Structure formats: structure tokens, C-alpha cells
Amino acid sequence: MHDLVLLVSIRALFQGIAHFVSPTLPFFVTRESRDVLEYIAHKSIGRPQWFEGYVPFIFELAWFVNEISTSASPTAIIKVLIFLIDVAAGSFWYFIVKRLSTAGLNKNKHVKGYDFVGLRNPEVKHLQVSQPLFIAGLHMLNPLSILYNEACNCDGVRYFWVSLAVFSALQLYGYRPGDIPSYVLYQFAACGMLLNGSFKMLAVLLPLTYLVVHKRLRLSNSASLSWSEWKFMMRSIVPHILVTISMYVLYYVLVDHHMIRQILDIDYGGRGSGIDFSLYWYLNRVLHSPFNIVNIFKAHMIIFVFPLPLLVVLRHRPMEYLITMLSISILQQPRLSLVGLWFMICLFAVHYPLMDKSLAFTKMMMMLFATVILSVVAYIAWAGRYIANPNYFFAPQLLILILMCMVLEDYTKVNFNLMSTSKSQQ
């Protein structure tokens, strides 16, 4: 725990330096910086439904603190809250990676030479995941998270809910029916993940629930999945999914029903999305509207089709299955940011020894960082200098998405190959 406390202290130091320097940031980082002020203004006059943007729960906390202490600046309050959220998310992944080793979820012991060079612990002979401090450091100390925090951009709150959902699901791995508090926390986190993400996060619900029930399934090691195993698997998974979906629908019906129209117009139809690192802003601003139909069809495939074949193939590797579906869903977010791209990198880095041994993961990450820097420069050249051609920004952004797709494809191929290798040795 001392290393985690030291990591939090370093993040606080870097955040203080960023606040003191106050660097000039591009618009796609700062565009949500005044949302908290607008929301507090609407909330103060009793019209929060007039606010049409993304409303994370820390906006409510900022409004509450502002009502109690009028001397506190709302932007200062939101910066502190974002800092605490980032620290909590990084801490969740610290304990997630530690839990992977004790829960028996490391499935790569048969891979010869599969060790993390950075670990100098003689008691651990085979390490299938990265060091917990390494993953927590990627979440807490990355410059993007620090800059988004300084800009009061709450995009990282979406991924906080993802981190909490994965942490709570892993805590329930092999749970007993009497562990009600842990189950309530899991349902709360899963519902929060759906409410704070786009509707495409529904694709993550199946692998997240599968991680909870996997230990109790006791599947055979045969290459094919029998019909009886499939029925037993669905009987174990579907009730938990129905509970989460019921809470999700009940929230919109009883608490926030005016948001349904916004979800249908923005998230589902793709309209109204600003300039970001997804394809949707370009398709909806430059190309013809029938492309929206193709996007909706693709979204349906991701939610209702992709999780099922991946479940069959990766049924013995629930954590890898969850990381794969999380990456696919995040990559298809209609408002993808640099924080979302970095979160995907952190997901792949959980199995960094596997990735770096099986493919040129480090080299591809260096290329990705270079294209991210190029995209920022291209955005400033396009929007900052009023060059009326979105391709200045879209071209390097497209390279980023291609690189992420290549890493995701290689990650799934490696897991498929290891599945067949482990079965042949068994």
C-alpha cells in the first residue's frame, strides 16, 4: 500500500504543477470546462432539464458543495472531484491486477518465458499480468488525465464507472449467494457504467456478468461447447443481466426520463456529436445522412452479435473476454476522447508481458503516441488557424483508430492461439 500512496502523492504534485503553469489547451480538451457552471446555473433556478450535455454525478456534488459554501469556486470544486475520481480509478486497477493473480484468472502459465522483466520478486516465478503499480501508474500519471483534470473535463468519469464495475465484478468472482453487499455494489457499478456511457456499453454487460459467474460454471475443456453447457451458462448469466437492465430502465422512467430523447438523438442517431476522436463527427458533418443507418446497424452487431461468438471462444478466459469487449465498445463511442484512447492502452497493458512477447506492442504504442501528438498539432492547424478542411484533423485521427484496431486484432489473435495451445497441452 505504501507504493500506492506514493503514486497518489506524485499525481497530486503533477496536478499542482499543471495548475500553476496553466498551459494553453486545445478546444477538444477544454470544450466541457464550462459545463459545470452552466449546469449549476440551471440547477439553481430549478431547471436542470434545460442542460443538454453530459451530466456526470460529480456535477451534482459540485452543485451541492457550491450551495453549502458559496465562497468556493465551482471550477476548483470540480477539479478536486475529478482528481479524486482519477485516483480512485487508478486504485481500483491496482487492486484488480493484484486480484487477478489470487483469483486464478491467469491462463498463460504454459507460455514459456512469459515473465515481466520489471518484476524482481523471487517468490513469483510466472507472472501473467503486469505489476499492479505499473497499471495504476498508467492510469494516474498519464499526462492526458492530468491535462483533462486541469481543463475541468469530466470525460474520465465515464471510465471511472468502468473501473468500478470491473473491480466489483472481480470481487464477486466465485461469490457465495449470501454476499449481498458486494452484489449490490456490482449492480450499482454496472448500472452506473451504462448510464454514464453510450448505449454501446450494453455490449459489455454480458462479459462483465460472465466474469461474476464464471467460477461456478465448471465448463469442460473440450474444444466445442455442448448444448447443456450453453443452457446452464445462460441460466446463470441472464438473471443478473435482467436485474441490471431493470435498474437501467427504471432510472430513466422514474428519475431522468427527459434524457431518453437526448440519447435517441445523439447517442443512437449520432447527431449532435462534436469534434472528437471518433468517426461520428466526421460522418455526420461531411458525409451523407444514410451513413447513419450503417452506423446503427454496426452498433446493433456490436451489442447483440459480437459478445456471443467471443463468449464461446474465450469462455475459459473471462478477463481477456471482458478486455476485448470493453475495447470494442470504447472504440465505437460516439464521443471518443484522448482519455478513452489511453484507457484502451491501459486495458491492453494489463497483459503487457503477453502483448510485448507476442507482438511489437511497445513499438506500436510509440507510433500511437506520435500520431496523437500529430493529431493535436493538426487540430490546432485546422481549427486554430481557421483552415476550412476537416481532413487536417481527420487524417491523423484515422491513423490512430487504425493502430488501435490493429492492436485489438492482435490481442484477440494471441488469446485465440493461447486457447488452442492450452487445450492441446491439457
Residues in the chain: 426
The per-residue pLDDT for 124 is 40
- Asked if residue 349 belongs to a domain, the reply is no
139 lies in the same domain as 165:
no
**pLDDT given at position 51:** 74
User: What is the Cα–Cα distance from 390 to 30, expressed in whole angstroms?
Assistant: 19
Residues 183 and 39 grouped into a single domain: no
- The domain boundary residue, chosen from 129, 155, 181: 155
Residue 278 inside a domain? The answer is no
DSSP letter, residue 257: T
Same-domain pairing of 202 and 299: yes
Give me the domain span that covers residue 58: 1-155
The pTM is what?
Answer: 0.87
CA proximity to 40, closest of 69, 68, 60, 70: 60
Q: Work out the burial of residue 424: count CB atoms within 10 Å of its CB; fewer than 13 is exposed, 13-18 middle, 19 or more buried.
A: exposed
Q: Indicate whether 151 and 15 sit together in one domain.
A: yes
In-domain check, residue 327: yes
Q: Is residue 44 located within the same domain as residue 139?
A: yes
DSSP structure class, residue 199: G
Same domain for 215 and 298: yes
> Does 391 lie in the same domain as 247?
no
Is 344 a domain residue?
no
**Is residue 287 classed exposed, middle or buried when 0-12, 13-18 and 19+ CB atoms within 10 A define those classes?**
exposed
Same domain? 188 vs 327:
yes
Are the C-beta atoms of 88 and 58 separated by less than 8 Å? Answer: no
Q: Domain boundary residue among 120, 155, 190?
A: 155
> Per the structure, how many domains does the chain have?
3
Check whether residue 28 and residue 88 sit in a common domain. yes
Same domain, 112 and 167: no
Low pLDDT (below 50) residues in the chain: 110-128
Is 2 domain-assigned? Answer: yes
Q: Is there a single domain that holds both residue 401 and residue 325?
A: no
pLDDT score of 424: 53
Same domain, 16 and 94: yes
The mean of the pLDDT values for the chain is: 79
Classify burial at 299, counting beta carbons within 10 Å of its beta carbon; exposed 0-12, middle 13-18, buried 19 or more: buried
* Span 112-167, pLDDT tens digits: 444 443 333 444 444 445 688 888 999 999 888 999 999 888 888 889 999 999 99
* Residue 296 maps to a domain: yes
